[in-house]
Amino acid sequence: MAESVLQSKDQFSGIPLESDPEIFTDLLHALGVPSLEFRDVLSIHTNDLLPGADLALPSTVHAFGLVYNATRAYEAGIRAERQKARDEGRGYAGHGDGEPVLWWEQTVRNACGLFALLHAVANLDLAGHDFVEKDSLLATLLRNAIPLGPTERAAALKNSDGIAQVYNRAAQRGTSEPDEDEVPGHYVCFVRSPKDGHIYELDGGKNGPVDQDEFLGGDRDMLSGGLKLVRDFVGSRMDPAKPYFHLMALVSSSA
């Protein structure tokens, strides 16, 4: 992790964001995206969620946010691969409008839920979408972050007083007792790139975004392709001793 990021201030509470669609939605609105919301996804099988099905979502899925208990081996492998890539000069260095997706390295402690949310809404349109209110916290962050490399981009988020304030308020609303030694679960986002149409895995703990187009066999439908990724994660990367996961979808607001 870059020295300049480690030395930047950290006003975030360190309390993990509870996987509750109401909390995520209120945080999303506070950041400046009033026309979208998060919804619980009650099945990981596509047919159950198609329009007209009993568990169908109210509108088109823009992104999925998954929180799950990963195995220790998988988490250790992520860290080892990221460090290996940096040692070999392959550390992610994407920046600017040419990126297929906008990605942040997670440098805020216990805030992977915030990073999943940001990865979902930042990639509706890299240049700023009608969903995002002009001069909102999110619009300001995107405008400042897009030209930056990963280290500077991470610092821009970590140093945002306004985002820290709204995040801390949201994190305080959880009903679970936080355990600083073992935070339950890790968030990852699946979203379709507005540039190339591929579905990407966005995890701030990895060495940049992961293009899942090959794994999905070219399936670029957010519902079917996204759920295939969810099934793979909970089937092969979740800790069988702690088989917990929760899935939310980013959709247009029903209000």
Q: Are 111 and 130 in contact (CB under 8 A)?
A: no
Residue 189 among the catalytic residues = no
Residue 186 among the catalytic residues = yes
Q: Are 94 and 150 in contact (CB under 8 A)?
A: yes
CB neighbour burial string for 52-63, b if at least 16 within 10 angstroms, e if fewer: eeeeebeeebbb
Instruction: Work out whether strand 245-252 and strand 36-40 pair parallel, antiparallel, or are unpaired.
Output: antiparallel
Structure tokens at 224: 């079917």
* Crossing angle of helices 161-171 and 21-31, rounded to 10°: 160
Selecting among 62, 186, 189, 198, the annotated active-site residue is 186
CA distance 33 to 30: 7
Selecting among 112, 119, 189, 198, the annotated active-site residue is 112
Using alpha carbons only, what angle is made at residue 29 by residues 106 and 53, rounded to the nearest 5 degrees? 95
Which residues are marked as active site? 112, 186
